[in-house]
Amino acid sequence: MFNIPAADTLVVLNNFTHNDGYISNGVINVQGNIIIGAGADGGSATIYCNNSAAQTYQSSSTARLAHLKIDKPAGSVTPTGGTTQLALQRFTLLNGSFTAPSGTLYIGGYYGSSQTLLTHSGGTFNHNNGTVSIDPDFSGCTTLTASISSTAVPKIQFFNFTVDVDDLSCLEDILTFAANDTILIENNLLLNDGYLNGGHICVVNDVRVNSGFDGGNTELIFFGSTDQDFDLSGATGNFNGDIKIQKTGGNVLLHSDCILDAPAQDLRFVKGHIVSASTQLLTFEDNTLWSGASDSSFVSGPIRKVGNDMFTFPIGKNDSLYAPLGISAPSNTTHHFTAEYFPSNPHLSAYDTSLHQASLHHISGCEYWILDRTNGNSNVFVTLSWDARSCGVDNLSELSVTKWNGTQWIDLGQANIAGNANSGSIRTLNLVGTFSPFTLSSYTENNPLPVTLLNFDAEKVEQETLLSWTTLGEINSDVFEVEHSTDTEHYTKIGTVKASGNSNSSITYQFTHKNPSIGLNYYRLKMKDLDGTYEYTKNIALLFETDIDFNVRLFPNPTKDKKCTIEINGSRHSIELNLFNNLGIKVFSAFISSTHQFDFSNLAPGLYTIQLTVGVDIVTEKILIN
């Protein structure tokens, strides 16, 4: 150990090298550069940089420097000599500029008491696209706290940030922020060990929670403009702070179960969606909350609710269709229900909408919910919602809730109807004790809840596609727009078929696509009602392979005056032509559909390969250009 009296300052006029051991107490004022050897073991002393010159630090290992304090009126402190990582006992930035290493900046050390590990009250912190890891090792069987204080404006910004607050003995320790502090992480957050309390962490990219992390109350804000991964697989699904979805674009993608289980824990929706799945399930435990869900922010996928709280599931689909479903309070805190919304015709999912109790006139062909009782035996009232997504509600008194019982849709009645034709909700008349798909229905021809589609098929007829579909019933239907795609991403309208308008019987329609593409062709219907509402069917696919032989003739070959005619016979499709030199480099490209003369005067003389492609067929020919 090298000890400096606590009140003393040692001034180093040039470079300071810490090769080995521990530096205790006092201040070392460094006017030059800082070199950290492999044996450096930190210390309670302060390494102080306060001049206006440029200074560097050099470290070739994870050896630790003591408390680094920067208070420069001008100039900077930057890494040099291939330094990609730096370990500090503590770090303080009051003024001047500090550039972190491009690898990892470790802040922490061995402590027997709570410490403020990072202080930023002024100056500029340049993260250098590296990672800051808060990694103190605390001793003793008491809960100790590592603190970050960031009072400067603008706030400190990290690129990657790791919380690794280890306890060497028996208790988990805490990393804490001031209550109003907001830390911005421009890339990834890793919660590895300890607790996290106070303040807010805004993350632009991915968040991972490992098994050593034990919670806390810091608010986690998803703030990015693209999709962000939220992976809690190493932490058995738990995160205890409030979570806010406040994205400028993209969604939050769950990569594991996510369990909200802290009392009064709140999931706040502002903008952006959480995407869940049956194997990446979002679960609200007893007494957890959510707020703010809307068409611009909800959960796309299943949600589970545990406990005896009355609950509305903040679910939806397709980034813009918020479709909440509510249940009354279950009778036991261990009982749970799981719900998901589907903006599609239940008939297409094997829940035949032509099969229903006589009291019902028709079933929604627009949407349905899956609500399952996944644990316990509680009976609950079920509340469904409607708005513009629901394809037409015009008479609330004729509306009802219906449920598929395995063989038909049954009438669950109506109670607690709220809202108007634009939006509202309706509850079942009685408690529900069996669970299955739910949707809206109507006692009369009112409440269009539009076309019921029985089938939609595509058939190859020579080189054309014959599309056919059958409806079981239509209410105020207008037209069917036929759309075509070759990639399922970009659809083009290729025709319109007039609908019958109103019908209680089956009607079959047909449309012929005369020019399908070579390869896979995808088709879907846009079913439009007279009021302008519409619904898409699922897409169907049909493969067209080239079944017409085509012949190619090149003349003259060798070319004359670098000119050549390419004669095409037997293909009615556009043909892709590519010309390659003797090194295999493409030097010319074009699309042709018939005989064509080409001028290759801009090419050097030599032997070339012509490749002609139509669908899955390829023809190659050699050509000598003189």
As a whole number, mean pLDDT of residues 357-375 equals 94
The CA distance from 270 to 283, in Å, is 19
Task: Return the pLDDT at 271.
Answer: 97
Confidence tier at 414 by pLDDT (50, 70, 90): very high
Q: Are strands 311-313 and 315-317 parallel, antiparallel or unpaired?
A: unpaired
- Mean pLDDT over residues 465-493, rounded? 89
Taking only the tens place, the pLDDT of each residue in 146-155 is: 888 888 878 8
Band (500; pLDDT cuts 50, 70, 90):
confident
Rounded Cα distance between 337 and 435, Å, is 10
Question: Residue 445: its pLDDT value, please?
Answer: 81
Does residue 223 register a pLDDT over 80? yes
CB 209 within 8 A of CB 243: no
pLDDT of the residue at 61: 76
d(CA 243, CA 544): 49
User: What is the per-residue pLDDT for 451?
Assistant: 60
Segment 517-527, tens digit of pLDDT: 878 899 999 98
| C-alpha radius of gyration, the chain, whole number | 34
> Is residue 254 within 8 Å of 276, Cβ to Cβ?
yes
**Residue 275 confidence (pLDDT) above 80:** yes
Task: Copy the structure tokens of residue 78.
Answer: 């930057």
Confidence bin at 473 (pLDDT 50/70/90): low
* Neighbouring C-alpha atoms within 13 Å toward the C-beta of 459: 9
pLDDT at 462: 81
Question: Which of the given ranges, 214-218, 404-408, 489-493, has the highest pLDDT on average?
Answer: 404-408
Statement: residue 594 has pLDDT above 80: no
Strongest mean pLDDT among 151-160, 172-181, 383-392, 407-416: 407-416
Position 281 pLDDT exceeds 60 = yes
**367 confidence band (pLDDT: 50, 70, 90):** very high
pLDDT of residue 171: 60
Question: Which secondary structure element, helix H or strand E, spans residue 228, and what is its range?
Answer: strand 228-231
User: Of the segments 144-148, 224-228, 484-488, which one has the largest average pLDDT value?
Assistant: 224-228
pLDDT digits (tens, 9 = 90+) for 165-193: 876 555 667 888 888 888 999 999 999 98
pLDDT over 90, % of the chain: 63
| Rama region for 97: left / alpha / beta (φ>0; ψ in -120 to 50; rest) | beta
Rounded Cα distance between 60 and 66, Å, is: 16
Check residue 424 and give its pLDDT. Answer: 97
Strand partners, 200: 182, 219
Residue 604 has pLDDT above 70, yes or no: yes
Residue 507 has a pLDDT of 87
Q: What mean pLDDT do residues 567-573 have?
A: 68
CA distances for 565 relative to 173, 582, 621, angstroms: 80, 21, 13
Q: Which neighbouring-strand residues pair with 457?
A: 468
The neighbour count for residue 444, using CB atoms within 10 Å, is 12
The CA distances from residue 50 to 27, 240, 266, in Å, are 12, 41, 45
Q: What are 40's two structure tokens?
A: 């450096």
Give residue 66's pLDDT.
Answer: 96
If you ran DSSP here, which 8-state letter would residue 235 be given?
G
Q: Annotate 187-246 with DSSP letters as a single string.
A: S-EEEEEEEEESSEEEESS-EEEEEEEEEESPEEEE--SS-EEEE-GGGTTB--S-EEEE
For residue 226, CA distances in Å to 206, 217, 249, 251 come to 10, 26, 5, 7
pLDDT at 616: 60
pTM to 2 decimal places: 0.74
Residue 501 has what pLDDT? 82
**Residue 401, Cα to own-chain centre: how many angstroms?**
33
Share of the chain above pLDDT 70, in %: 95
Residue 237 scores a pLDDT above 70? no
| DSSP reduced 3-state for 396 | helix
Neighbours of 565 (CB within 10 A): 14
**Do 203 and 182 form a contact (C-beta atoms < 8 A)?**
no
So what's the pLDDT on residue 169? 55
Give me the DSSP letters along 543-565.
Answer: EE---S--EEEEEEEEEETTEEE
- Asked if the model's pLDDT at residue 510 lies above 90, the reply is yes
pLDDT in tens, 108-139: 988 888 899 999 999 999 999 999 999 888 87
Output the average pLDDT for the chain. 90
Q: Which whole number is the average pLDDT over 63-75?
A: 96
Average pLDDT for 272-290 = 97
**What is the arithmetic mean of pLDDT over 90-119?**
93
pLDDT higher at 141 or 373: 373
Read off the pLDDT band of 549 (50, 70, 90).
Answer: low
Least confident of 65-74, 214-223, 416-425, 471-480: 471-480
- Report the range out of 267-281, 496-510, 552-566 with the highest average pLDDT: 267-281
pLDDT value at residue 138 = 82
Examine the pLDDT at 315 and tell me if it is beyond 60: yes
CA–CA separation, 220 vs 559, rounded Å? Answer: 70
**pLDDT given at position 215:** 83
Q: Which is nearest to 172 in space by CA: 218, 131, 213?
A: 213
- For residues 477 and 481, which has the higher predicted lDDT (pLDDT)? 481
CA atoms within 13 A on the CB side of 54: 4
The secondary structure of residue 295, as a DSSP letter, is T
Mean pLDDT, range 440-452, rounded to an integer: 81
Rounded-to-integer distance, Cα 134 and Cα 192, Å = 10
> Given a cut of 80, is residue 143 above it in pLDDT?
no
Q: Residues near 410 by Cβ (< 8 Å), separated by ≥ 6?
A: 356, 357, 402, 403, 404
530, pLDDT greater than 90: no
pLDDT above 90 (res 387) = yes
